[in-house]
């Protein structure tokens, strides 16, 4: 970053002194590995300002830079690309300047406005599945990245704890549960409740089929199945505050929360502030009447309230039912306002929600804007692709899901199996080993999900296990562990030594330093794009470069003392960057594996 800033000025003044022309901006890119050089200036865009042959222009600028800028050791020009070779001393000075910064790459805390990141937001009628895992990992990682970019961040979720879905589980439990509890059944609370959600659907389908057999039309049968009507009745009772129903609702939700807490803990995600739909679903109604007065909304004959977005290329959208009750949109308007009230310092909210709701959020943000809330422009829908199975979409009701708890357990089991096969853990206690299996298994899973661009849909084949080799979490973790091993063995090295900047660098060392230098910029880029994938890919490249260095250059075996010490320091620094980068992804790195 610093280098580019410096060169930007130098190139501009070079062009000015040679051609008397003022460049708007200079285009840089890292030099491709097939060419000699470290950083490349692209000459083509300059042709708009400076007339002439690109090679000739590049050569003149290169010569001028070599003469006047001490950091530039030499240059070459290929077609319209001016490749600059940066002096080793520059990189060594850079290394000295960052070596002691433990938080290297992170902007100073709270130097930017506070933001709120919403993620997870599950329904409370069934356990979490792979889709939720992607949501949680993305939301958590984006929150961490925003923090690293200097924002204060509040992590939040809205728990969808009311509605017909939870009544379905409640009803089925009431009918056939025989008082079963997590304790009596040995089932995790969310799994127990999910079991009854599936049970409801089974009865419901049977009833629909029975009605159809009697000659009732499918649509009618779906509406009139007795058990569904009972569930709707239960929801009405809940809304009117029926004591028995509310008590049952509280009990079943408490089971689910306990289950979710375990899953969140295992996944390593957390929240600063929770919102419950049962508290917020009535919010937003005042805003609607306010909007009516302002003329943002309009009322239809039946009393329902709408917004017309056809001028924006969207449809009409309902914001309040004819009977005056709130819909999804009403609630989301209210919740947004609530959050702004609760956290006045927040400037920017991120909603981590699947791309099936792209339209909903487009409309929500537009409505808030039309209502005149200045902060509407700071809202962002972090939309991500679905996680599908080869058989299609996951459906909890039909049991075709990859359960979050099962998957995590499987990943840990695979890690255990592999670790035992390799047998490198003598001296570890059983507890330490179990901790490590979890670190590796989760690392593999998290990396697998996060390295993919959020927008892209993931096809997950449960038959093919998630890899532990190649571009994977364990690959990165392994490299980190090897670095720690070096540091353990190098007890004699001087961690405070200032590197002699007149030393000449090995090609692999220079490659590493160049890469390390990119880290702070990469963090900012990831924050701007809300993309943990950028961090994952960056760390992967860094690790590749380190492994290549490790393989080809002796570290502890270096005969020259200064060079040896530098190589250990360099390894240590690479380790810190790996650790810091993986921390942003919520992945732990082990000292041994």
Q: Is 418 in the site for RNA (CB under 7 A)?
A: yes
Q: Is 427 in the site for RNA (CB under 7 A)?
A: no
Q: Of the two residues 214 and 421, which places its CB atom closer to RNA in the complex?
A: 421
Q: How many CB atoms lie within 10 A of CB 200?
A: 26
The footprint of RNA on residues 20-39 (CB under 7 A) is 27-29, 31-32, 34-35, 37
Q: Is 55 in the site for RNA (CB under 7 A)?
A: no
Contact 359, 329 (CB under 8 A): no
Contact 368, 335 (CB under 8 A): no
Q: Which two tokens stand for residue 223?
A: 């509406």
Kindly list the distances between the CA atom of residue 121 and the CA atoms of 117, 118, 125, 263, 275, in Å, as whole numbers in the listed order.
Answer: 11, 8, 12, 14, 9
Q: Is 435 in the site for RNA (CB under 7 A)?
A: no
Q: Which residues lie below 8 Å from residue 187, measured CB to CB, with a gap of 6+?
A: 195
Q: Is 457 in the site for RNA (CB under 7 A)?
A: yes
Q: Which two tokens stand for residue 526?
A: 């990831």
Which window, 109-117, 214-222, 267-275, 449-457, contacts RNA (CB under 7 A)? 449-457
Q: Is 282 in the site for RNA (CB under 7 A)?
A: no
Which window, 265-273, 365-373, 412-420, 427-435, contacts RNA (CB under 7 A)? 412-420
| Binding track, positions 104-123, relative to RNA; x by CB under 7 A | -------------------x
The footprint of RNA on residues 488-547 (CB under 7 A) is 489, 533-534, 537, 540, 544, 547
105: phi > 0 → left, psi -120 to 50 → alpha, else beta; which?
left
Q: Of the two residues 202 and 455, which places its CB atom closer to RNA in the complex?
A: 455
Q: Which residues lie below 8 Å from residue 463, measured CB to CB, with a gap of 6+?
A: 390
Applying CB under 7 A, among 3, 83, 138, 156 the residue interacting with RNA is: 83
Q: Is 559 in the site for RNA (CB under 7 A)?
A: no
Radius of gyration of the chain (CA): 29
**Interatomic CA distance for residues 350 and 532, integer angstroms:** 14
**Straight-line distance from the first to the last Cα atom of the chain, in angstroms, rounded to the nearest whole number:** 34
DSSP assignments along 362-412, one per residue: HHHHHHHHHTT-GGGGGEEEEEE--EEBTTBS-BTTTTBS-BHHHHHHHHH
155 membership: H or E segment, kind and range: strand 151-159
| Binding track, positions 346-385, relative to RNA; x by CB under 7 A | ---------xxxxxx------------------------x
The footprint of RNA on residues 391-410 (CB under 7 A) is 393
Applying CB under 7 A, among 138, 256, 415, 578 the residue interacting with RNA is: 415
Q: Of the two residues 277 and 509, which places its CB atom closer to RNA in the complex?
A: 277
Applying CB under 7 A, among 372, 554, 561, 562 the residue interacting with RNA is: 554
Q: Is 470 in the site for RNA (CB under 7 A)?
A: yes
Q: Is 44 in the site for RNA (CB under 7 A)?
A: yes
Q: Of the two residues 57 and 153, which places its CB atom closer to RNA in the complex?
A: 57
Q: Is 462 in the site for RNA (CB under 7 A)?
A: no
Phi, psi of 78 (to 5 degrees): -120, 120
CB of 178 to RNA, least distance (A): 29
Contact 437, 387 (CB under 8 A): no
Q: Is 434 in the site for RNA (CB under 7 A)?
A: no
Applying CB under 7 A, among 481, 535, 539, 589 the residue interacting with RNA is: 481
Applying CB under 7 A, among 13, 18, 80, 410 the residue interacting with RNA is: 80
Q: Is 326 in the site for RNA (CB under 7 A)?
A: yes
Q: Which residues lie below 8 Å from residue 266, measured CB to CB, with a gap of 6+?
A: 405, 408, 438, 442
């Amino acid at each position: 970053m610093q280098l580019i800033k410096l060169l930007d000025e130098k190139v501009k003044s070079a062009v000015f002194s040679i051609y008397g022309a003022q460049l708007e901006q200079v285009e840089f890119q890292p030099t491709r590995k097939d060419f000699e050089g470290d950083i490349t200036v692209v000459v083509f865009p300059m042709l708009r300002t400076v007339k002439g042959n690109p090679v000739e222009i590049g050569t003149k600028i290169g010569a001028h830079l070599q003469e006047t800028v001490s950091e530039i050791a030499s240059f070459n020009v290929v077609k319209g690309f001016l490749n600059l070779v940066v002096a080793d001393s520059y990189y060594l000075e850079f290394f000295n300047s960052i070596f002691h910064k433990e938080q290297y790459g992170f902007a100073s805390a709270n130097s930017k406005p506070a933001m709120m990141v919403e993620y997870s937001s599950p329904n409370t009628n069934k356990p979490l599945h792979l889709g939720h895992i992607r949501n949680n990992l993305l939301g958590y990682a984006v929150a961490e990245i925003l923090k690293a970019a200097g924002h204060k961040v509040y992590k939040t979720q809205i728990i969808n704890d009311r509605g017909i879905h939870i009544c379905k589980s409640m009803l089925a439990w009431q009918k056939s549960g025989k008082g079963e509890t997590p304790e009596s059944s040995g089932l995790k609370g969310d799994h127990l409740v999910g079991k009854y959600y599936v049970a409801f659907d089974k009865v419901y389908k049977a009833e629909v089929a029975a009605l159809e057999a009697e000659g009732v039309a499918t649509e009618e049968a779906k509406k009139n199945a007795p058990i569904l009507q009972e569930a709707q009745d239960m929801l009405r009772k809940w809304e009117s505050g029926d004591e028995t129903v509310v008590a049952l609702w509280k009990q079943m939700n408490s089971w689910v929360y306990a289950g979710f807490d375990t899953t969140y803990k295992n996944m390593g995600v957390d929240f600063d502030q929770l919102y419950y739909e049962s508290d917020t679903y009535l919010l937003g109604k005042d805003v609607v009447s306010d909007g009516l007065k302002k003329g943002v909304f309009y009322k239809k004959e039946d009393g329902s309230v709408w917004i017309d977005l056809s001028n924006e290329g969207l449809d009409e959208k309902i914001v309040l039912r004819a009977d005056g009750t709130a819909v999804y949109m009403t609630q989301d308007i209210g919740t947004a306002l609530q959050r702004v009230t609760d956290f006045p310092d927040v400037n920017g909210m991120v909603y981590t929600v699947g791309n099936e709701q792209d339209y909903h959020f487009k409309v929500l943000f537009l409505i808030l804007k039309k209502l005149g809330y200045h902060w509407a422009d700071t809202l962002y829908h972090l939309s991500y692709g679905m996680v599908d199975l080869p058989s299609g979409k996951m459906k909890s009701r039909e049991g075709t899901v990859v359960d979050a708890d099962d998957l995590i357990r499987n990943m840990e089991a695979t890690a255990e199996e592999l670790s035992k096969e390799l047998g490198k853990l003598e001296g570890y206690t059983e507890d330490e080993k179990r901790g490590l299996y979890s670190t590796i298994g989760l690392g593999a899973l998290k990396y697998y999900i996060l390295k993919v661009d959020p927008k892209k849909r993931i096809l997950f084949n449960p038959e093919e296990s998630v890899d532990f080799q190649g571009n994977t979490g364990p690959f990165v973790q392994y490299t980190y562990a090897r670095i720690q091993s070096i540091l353990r063995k190098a007890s004699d090295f001087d961690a405070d030594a200032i590197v002699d900047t007149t030393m000449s660098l090995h090609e692999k060392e220079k490659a590493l330093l160049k890469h390390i230098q990119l880290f702070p910029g990469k963090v900012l880029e990831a924050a701007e794009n809300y993309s943990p994938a950028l961090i994952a890919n960056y760390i992967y490249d860094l690790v590749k470069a380190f492994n290549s260095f490790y393989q080809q250059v002796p570290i502890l075996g270096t005969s020259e003392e200064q060079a040896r010490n530098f190589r250990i320091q360099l390894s240590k620094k690479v380790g810190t960057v790996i650790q810091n980068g993986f921390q942003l992804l919520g992945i732990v790195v082990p000292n041994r594996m």
